[in-house]
Amino acid sequence: MDPSDECLKLSSQNTLPRHVAIIMDGNSRWAEAKSLPRVAGHKEGAQAVKRCIQGAIRNDIQWLTLYAFSSENWRRTPEEVADLTALLRFYLKFEARKLHKEGVRVRIIGDSKRFDPKLQKQFDEIEALTKNNTRLILTLALSYGGRGEIIQAVQRIVQDVQAQQIDPEQITEDLFSNYLFAPDVPDPDLIVRTSGESRLSNFLLWQSAYAELIFVETLWPDFNEDHFNDILSVYIRRERRFGTRPGLKISDK
């Protein structure tokens, strides 16, 4: 079946997620299974990113967040970190204008200051280039950790309390959310992890409170538009209840 035909079928259900977040896992295992160096898995994983973005665009997904480089990734060998950052630099350089042409807005969340200044400049450039695009909001989580994001939010709230800009009694879930990296991005409706692992690995811990979770066996480098359509098919068959009365669906919230 042509991917576009499947997308039309899914879109007609009118229950697609607004925001899909993906933990892209399995690059190294993909390379090892083929007796290739790890960097080969990361390179093929970058191709899967392109296919995933096209799947999101075809299905009119509004927000897509990709876990591209975790805060824990800095613990990998210097050689692998260098490969990952070099690939990231290459991807941003050659995909920026393509994404802009597609109407994709790119945003970066995480502790980006840990990257070298040249890469930080690329982050700024792609965000500035695409800032007015609305077809798809693509958030790249880079040097990102959910616990770190929460700690940073707490630190900023404490500073504002000490400066008497807010009263402790004013602190609510909504206010707390305003101190996260991307407060204007809605919480993900759906979080997907590839490679058969069944954990969040420090990804969007606050935002994932009511997200639907789907874990698939496919290694990330093999992920394509058909896989993207499959996870959407699973999602639209689920009934979301948000911890309240039985039968409460997302449309009732």
Give the residue numbers of the binding site for Mg(2+): 25, 212
Conformation bin of residue 140: beta by default, left when phi > 0, alpha when psi is -120 to 50: beta
By the 8 A CB rule, do 69 and 84 touch?
yes
Give the residue numbers of the binding site for substrate: 26-30, 38, 42, 70-72, 74, 76, 193, 199-201
Residues in the chain: 253
By the 8 A CB rule, do 158 and 204 touch?
no
By the 8 A CB rule, do 192 and 23 touch?
yes
Q: Any idea what the Cα angle at residue 200 is, between residues 196 and 202, rounded to 5°?
A: 140
Give the residue numbers of the binding site: 25-30, 38, 42, 70-72, 74, 76, 193, 199-201, 212
Spatial separation of the C-alpha atoms in residues 8 and 10, rounded to whole Å: 5
Cβ neighbours, 10 Å, residue 144: 26
Tell me, yes or no, if 202 is annotated catalytic: no
By the 8 A CB rule, do 68 and 59 touch?
no
Tell me, yes or no, if 124 is annotated catalytic: no
Catalytic residue among 2, 5, 14, 25: 25
Local structure of 63: helix, strand or coil: strand
Catalytic residue among 60, 73, 83, 124: 73
Which residues are annotated as catalytic? 25, 73
